[in-house]
Amino acid sequence: MKMTQLFGSTLREAPAGAETPGYQLLLRGGYVRQIGQGIFSYLPLAVRVMRRIEQIMREEMEAAGGVELSMPLVHPAELWKRSGRYDAIGSELARFSDRRDRPVVLAMTHEEAVAVLTASEIHSWRQLPKLVYQIQLKWRDDPRPRAGLVRTREFTMKDAYSLDRDAKGLDVQYERLHVAYDEIFRRCELPVIAVAADVGIMGGSEAHEFMYLNPIGEDTIVLCDSCGYSQNRQVARAALPSAGEREEPLPLERVATPSTPTIESLCELLGIEATKTAKVVFVATEDGTPVVAVVRGDMQLNETKLANLVGASELRPMTAEEIEAIGCVPGYASPIGVGERATVVVDEVVAASTNLVAGANEEGFHLRNVNSGRDYEPDTVADIVAVEQGQACVICGAALRTERGVEVGNIFKLGTRFSNSEGATYLDEDGTEKPVVMGSYGIGVGRLLACVAEEHRDDRGLVWPVAVAPFGAHLCCLGEEGLAAAPSIAAGLEHAGVDVLVDDRGERPGVQFTDAELIGCPVLLTVSKRSLAAGGVEAKMRTAAGGEAVIVALDEVPQWVAGRLAGRVRRGPAPTSARAPG
């Protein structure tokens, strides 16, 4: 392809507001343009990268036994109402009505749709197992799009769905897809780790996320370098910290604590450690049910754990008026006296501790010697705190560390939730009707592109891996001699199976070289009067370390380039999946 054919141009500087280095280079290299918040146009260079990523996905899905289909973006709302997600999901789900006033939604995922298809197509145990997938546009009206393509509202996703007779069959397909995902990311040369994760709105019994560890991520991953434990912080556990020496419960003591609405100010006034305090967090479920969460003063509430515990799809902070309505005072709160006006959930560390300091539900006062089970009765005692760096691993006791990460893929054991809601059943060997057992598996194509760009770059531009690069080679044509020689060089490369981007713009050498490094194709070629006089074409690999340029004879260019591109990150033997503990 000639650069004069391309639609889009390179930029010397990234537009204001471009947050991450990879996104800045995608903008500057003429790959993407934003036309609205979280809404992007993908220019020809990006489309070529995405098509290569999609081809890798297709090859690995088909190797895992999958067949491709295509489901609609617009769904009748009734499907989502039957599954319960129409009301459970907030404004992220786009709802509207068609011309006949029938409610419909824009799909953010396709579990309901594939369950409906299963109900119409699967009838007997002899038709199972099955694995279907699609690569399709989706819409999620995310309130916080960020980091360019990392978090968008409109996106392309490869989503797959396994259909099985029972949980044992699901386990087999789940493991097979885990291995397929490992291979997809390996071939894209993106280092990821699989971590146990919250099932969220998908439901089901188990989930794993494939995380690209990078500071641009908004997920926190908890890792143990000793035993390999790895989980999303949303569900991670640490070994139970010491609650201190068990003391005999002492009588409650009311103490004046003016101007101490925070744990820090309270500890400073009383001369105590935060480990000797209990703090209250007030949240409400989607239906307005008040929840009082009690954690130790040095710890942070994990809202995902709490939401799962109380069966809520989402939690919100309670208002001051709502807090006062259950008999509490913001800044000086305590679960004492709440009774049945709210659900009281106490972290297991607080339940194991004695004689803590907590609020007195009175402005300017706290209580010493507060004890769970004596002074107030929790509805539930459970682990509801977020794991922090340095805490002990729940498996081996070694110190945990935390890293930021971007979720580039996920897999879920859905079970029968959507089969039950949509009537997806089959007749088993014994003639009984049973629900189909489902799994769900997703990878965001644009997000994967964005993460590969973050991983493979230098201060001059992008450095695409061979398997996903828009072109195998970029040919700079300098002067009339270079432009005259370019067609035959390009033809030879194409004949050898190497797609090449030819810079036929007649720009100055500096402009061509700068754009070539910015665009980031694996092989950089230059043909000019000087290179021809030296015996051929100047060639080098575009690597972060910088490649040494060599002169390659004209008739040897196709073989030289093809040899350096061949065999890189192709399909390999199926690797053994190394599942991390936890």
CATH number assigned to the domain comprising residue 491: 3.40.50.800
Place of tokens 């997809």: 184
Calpha distance 441→413 (Å, rounded):
9
User: What are the tens digits of pLDDT across the range 272-329?
Assistant: 999 999 999 999 998 899 999 999 999 999 999 999 899 887 899 999 999 999 999 9
- Asked if the model's pLDDT at residue 578 lies above 60, the reply is no
Has residue 208 been placed in a domain?
yes
Residues 490 and 537 sit within 8 Å (Cβ to Cβ):
no
Least confident range from 312-321, 379-388, 509-518: namely 312-321
pLDDT, position 417 = 94
- Asked if the model's pLDDT at residue 574 lies above 60, the reply is no
Q: What is the CATH number of the domain that holds 289?
A: 3.90.960.10
Residue 100 gets which letter from DSSP? T
pLDDT, position 16 = 86
Residues 503 and 421 in one domain: no
Residues 370 and 414 in one domain: no
More confident residue, 324 or 545: 324
Residues 57 and 195 in one domain: yes
Has residue 132 been placed in a domain?
yes
pLDDT, position 487 = 96
User: What are the tens digits of pLDDT across the range 52-105?
Assistant: 999 999 999 999 999 999 999 999 999 999 999 999 888 899 999 999 999 999
| Global pTM value | 0.88
Calpha distance 239→233 (Å, rounded):
14
The pLDDT > 70 percentage for the chain reads 95
pLDDT, position 568 = 55
Residues 257 and 231 in one domain: no
pLDDT, position 543 = 79
- Domain of residue 38: give its range: 17-71+108-235+402-454
Residues 257 and 227 in one domain: no
User: What are the tens digits of pLDDT across the range 364-374?
Assistant: 999 999 999 99
Calpha distance 432→286 (Å, rounded):
38
Query: Would you place residue 546 in the very low, low, confident or very high pLDDT band (cuts 50, 70, 90)?
Result: low
Has residue 90 been placed in a domain?
no
pLDDT, position 257 = 96
Query: Would you place residue 247 in the very low, low, confident or very high pLDDT band (cuts 50, 70, 90)?
Result: confident
Has residue 432 been placed in a domain?
yes
pLDDT, position 90 = 86
pLDDT, position 573 = 47
pLDDT, position 525 = 97
Query: Would you place residue 544 in the very low, low, confident or very high pLDDT band (cuts 50, 70, 90)?
Result: low
- Asked if the model's pLDDT at residue 571 lies above 80, the reply is no
User: What are the tens digits of pLDDT across the range 403-430?
Assistant: 999 999 999 999 999 999 999 999 999 9
**Tally of structural domains, the chain:** 3
Residues 172 and 370 sit within 8 Å (Cβ to Cβ):
no
Among 349, 382, 415, identify where a domain stops. Answer: 382
User: What are the tens digits of pLDDT across the range 170-210?
Assistant: 999 999 999 999 999 999 999 999 998 887 766 667 899 99
Residues 43 and 161 in one domain: yes
- What's the average model confidence in pLDDT over 245-249? 80
Residues 161 and 260 in one domain: no
Tell me the sheet residues that pair with 509.
none
- What's the average model confidence in pLDDT over 535-541? 95
Residues 133 and 185 in one domain: yes
Has residue 76 been placed in a domain?
no
Write the CB contacts of 381 (distance below 8 Å, at least 6 apart in sequence). 345, 346, 347, 348, 351, 372
Residues 150 and 210 in one domain: yes
Structure tokens at 389: 């760096």
The secondary structure element, H or E, covering residue 296 is strand 290-296
Going by C-alpha positions, the residue among 415, 582, 572, 492 that lies closest to residue 56 is 572
Residues 115 and 211 in one domain: yes
Measured CA to CA in angstroms, residue 360 lies from 262, 269, 300, 347 at distances of 14, 16, 21, 19
Has residue 84 been placed in a domain?
no
For the chain, the average pLDDT equals 93
Place of tokens 């054919």: 5
